[in-house]
Structure 1
């Protein structure tokens, strides 16, 4: 048994605190949004978010993600690591401004087209131009947060996340209350400026080189990071493009109300439960970089992270199954009850993600750009194809099925490739936890063959209780060793 469980659990617990506060703030914000702007407004919000992420993916070169790896690796060097790290941080800060300006120019250039897509009219292009400032402020804050992650400044990241989420929620609620749907863009812009100021504050103690660096040197020394980042960016852009296709299809052939239901489904699967992975990745990714050359420790950390992910995610999913029929009307409104059709099968995809997610980092950290890109292109392709076909034949239920198929295909492909290229192996203990988790998922699916997913289900409650006890004793056993 490796010794990473305590470290992972401690740091994940710290991040979990911020994520729980974040969930609370989002729950309140989403409830207010559901009442004040309704399903159509939430659909518009999801579409704007999708477009912003798409343009950001094209223009940011993935600098934030790739810089985490490079700065974390530099910190492993004993000699002159501080000097090299400070210089690299200064370079990525300058790249952040450059990529942010590119994003501004991109949205301004296509402002009328974006206005037409989002608002069904090009007359609101000035609103879209105002929204372009998002890219500059977001680019800078993203890079600075990446530096904190690479430096493993856990407490500062936690505090940033707490303040960022709470302030953004307050800003959004006020904007929706005063302006309704028209408050969406002002809320995004003001929240982004707030996050920018917070990132400046929390990174002010990070050492940055005082040596003047010429523009051509900034470009030359930052180019390797940009090349790796471009790969991550390509993957992110393709993913957002796939999500855009799904959203476009729902609007074109159905309605904004259906899009709003889909958006809420994604919020549950990615925004709420997905926060578990966000909490873990803040520590897991840079820590795994530290063991790139130590295969035994590297594999042990991946195994430990997989175990912890499953022991946390599976009971959370099962509890959500029990509570979802009551949470949807409370958190949103009765208009969103159709979300249950997505969650009925879709929640299982999060368990599959908990298995596939840790091994998905291996190719990236090992520097195998082509393999990492293939993994992500495959998963997103399966998602968009599965969603369109699934929705056509099964409606909202088909969207949940598509998510399960996506992570199943992605997980199998990723596992086969990391075994082939890096001789990665799961421990027996990890395999046992994976098997138990998958059996619980199959048991839940079998319950739905008999019962409807509408109200309280005693069988699901019993399964959830068993899962919580199982996770408690497994975690206790690992943490006291």
Structure 2
């Protein structure tokens, strides 16, 4: 537990810093180039991120799974590590060359087609760097990964801003390349310290490893494409049957909903996934890791979820404007359902490490069927509330599919974790109902409940780790002393 908390804190903190650096970079670019420049930069980022995902086929997932599986077999691990590198090199070349031909066509509409294939180079660099990060994650170099996120984001932002300031619009292309290139350069010295197996020559055995990489990578990619398609379809429904203003409300609510848990879940996955992969063939070990990690995720996330629901009427106008008040109920109900999103996240990794590719796709499809289907049928009568119902129903459906498939592989969530999940869900729903009647009452009740969850969570963490428990007791003792004074 102590190691997991440390990892979560390091990666979570690094993620927050990199997000703030990204916001600062965007602010400077907006001042230098105006709305048109921001629009072009966003378009180029979509091209880069999509191209990287297509070229690498989620190498960050399949590579970690493939190498971690051979935790004790030196020969098999050497083969897996070599296969990951061969795959990354080929994917970088093929992806970069393939995107080079598409890049000019894609950017011609913006009236600023470059003479240098900056985005194609960015894709190739991103794929190579993904391979480096696979090894750091496999060997649990959590601190190094956190440093890379911070240093890479700062260096990339500085280089990008300088390029835009010096050259104007052409610098936007360089700014996109600066992000993965800075990360690659920062990662190299840390990667060189990682112990690696002897290099294997390219042969039929490597091709066999590629098959496993491709099967898992394609499966995860298909699930991601289904999710992206579902998001596009929902936005089309809202725009077609409502208006652009309603689509803006949905975008605001959905963005905040994703950010709400992304830091905790992204931080925990860095350690959670390799641990699961090393016990892929041991259902008892997977069950223990699942229950420990999910319990910690719920402990850390419950106060955040409850606080977000309670403070939503003030969060939305603060981060957007008072014109977005109609998005508050949608945001509240989606956050209330997000305790199930944590469970879906935890079980999703179980399906990945057990190579249940079709099951992983089925869980994503189950979510999107309801996310799209409910507003498709009821948007005319329910409006944005149909999105909230579809979101909650989709999560319930996705969790049900994941639970059934996990149980078939001998992996089960403990009854204690089920009980805590239901309590968190019920509390969030109750605060939503109170907030509908009175925002102030909802805030007061919500903060009280969030405090209770936070205190009980700290006690649970302290009970699980004696050193952490002693530190918490000292902090509480100092706090009590300050209150007496």
Instruction: Tell me the TM-score range normalised by the shorter chain.
Output: 0.7 to 0.9
Q: CA deviation at 1:40?
A: 8.9
In the alignment, is residue 89 of structure 1 matched against residue 81 of structure 2? yes
Aligned to 1:108: 100
Check if 1:12 corresponds to 2:8.
yes
Alignment of structure 1 residues 191-270 onto 2, 5 Å = 191-208=179-196, 211=199, 213-214=201-202, 218-246=206-234, 264-270=252-258
1-side partners of 2:37 and 2:246: how far apart?
A: 11
2:140 to 152, 167, 170: 152
Structure 1 residue corresponding to 2:452, chosen from 439, 460, 466? 466
Q: Please report how far the alpha carbon of residue 61 of structure 1 lies from its aligned counterpart in structure 2 after TM superposition.
A: 2.9
Distance 1:194 1:35 in 2: 23
In structure 2, what is the Cα distance between the partners aligned to 1:127 and 1:396?
45
- Partners of 1:308 and 1:22 lie apart in 2 by 24
Q: How has the CA–CA distance of structure 1 residues 266 and 129 changed in structure 2, closer, same or farther, with 3 Å as cutoff?
A: farther
Answering whether residue 434 of structure 2 is matched by residue 447 of structure 1, we say yes
Counterparts of 1:312-323 in structure 2, within 5 Å, are 312-323=300-311
Q: How does 1:35-434 map to 2 (within 5 A)?
A: 49-77=45-73, 81=74, 84-111=76-103, 114-115=106-107, 121=109, 123-126=111-114, 129-170=117-158, 185-208=173-196, 211=199, 213-214=201-202, 218-246=206-234, 264-327=252-315, 331=319, 340=328, 342-386=330-374, 398-419=386-407, 421-434=408-421
Aligned-partner Cα distance in 2 for 1:8–1:300: 14
The CA deviation at 1:176 is 7.6
Contact 1:176–1:182, Cα closer than 8 Å, also in 2: yes
Deviation for aligned residue 1:126: 3.8
Whole-angstrom CA distance in 2 between matches of 1:388 and 1:396: 11
Q: CA deviation at 1:278?
A: 0.7
8 A Cα contact 2:333 2:388, kept in partner: yes
Q: CA deviation at 1:33?
A: 7.3
**For 1:110, what is the secondary structure of its paired residue?**
helix
The number of equivalent residue pairs is 467
Deviation at 1:314, TM superposition (A): 1.4
Which sits farther off after the overlay, 266-275 or 136-145? 266-275
Query: 2:464 corresponds to which residue?
Result: 478
SS of 1:75 mapped into structure 2: coil
**C-alpha separation in 2, matches of 1:43 and 1:405:** 34
Q: For 2:296 and 2:214, how far apart are their aligned partners in 1?
A: 32
Gapped regions of structure 2 (runs ≥ 5): 470-485
In the aligned structure 1, how far is the partner of 2:346 from the partner of 2:82?
30
Q: Name the CA shift for 1:218/1:466 in 2 (closer, same or farther; >3 Å).
A: same
- Larger Rg over CA atoms: 2
- Equivalent residue number for residue 482 of structure 2: none
The answer for unaligned runs of 5 or more in structure 1 is: none
1:459 positional shift: 3.1
Q: What CA distance in whole angstroms lies between the structure 1 residues aligned with 2:301 and 2:234? A: 26
> TM-score, normalised on structure 2?
0.80
Answer whether contact 1:127 1:185 (CA < 8 A) is retained: no
SS at match of 2:182: helix
Most deviating of 218-227 and 29-38: 29-38
Q: How far, CA to CA, are the matches of 2:389 and 2:163 in structure 1?
A: 36
- Give how far 1:460 is off: 2.8
C-alpha displacement of 1:416: 2.4
CA distance in 1, matches of 2:448, 2:290: 31
What are the superposed Cα offsets for residues 112-170 of structure 1, whole Å, 9 maximum, x if unpaired? 66347xxxx36444489532222101111112112211122222112122223334455
Deviation of the 1:312 alpha carbon:
0.9
Indicate the SS of the match to 2:69: helix
Alpha carbons 1:32, 1:173 under 8 Å: kept: yes
Q: Deviations over 1:19-74 (max 9, x none)?
A: 34334435545666788889998777666555544444433233331111121121
Distance 1:249 1:177, change over 3 A: farther
Bigger mean CA offset, 350-359 vs 221-230: 221-230
Once the two structures are superposed, residues 244-273 of structure 1 have per-residue CA deviations (whole angstroms, 9 ceiling, x without a partner) of 445566788888887776555444333452
Q: Indicate if the aligned counterparts of 1:57 and 1:236 stay in contact, CA closer than 8 A.
A: no
Kept in 1, the 8 Å contact 2:254–2:331? The answer is no
**Aligned-residue CA RMSD in angstroms?**
3.9
1:438 lines up with 2:425 in the alignment:
yes
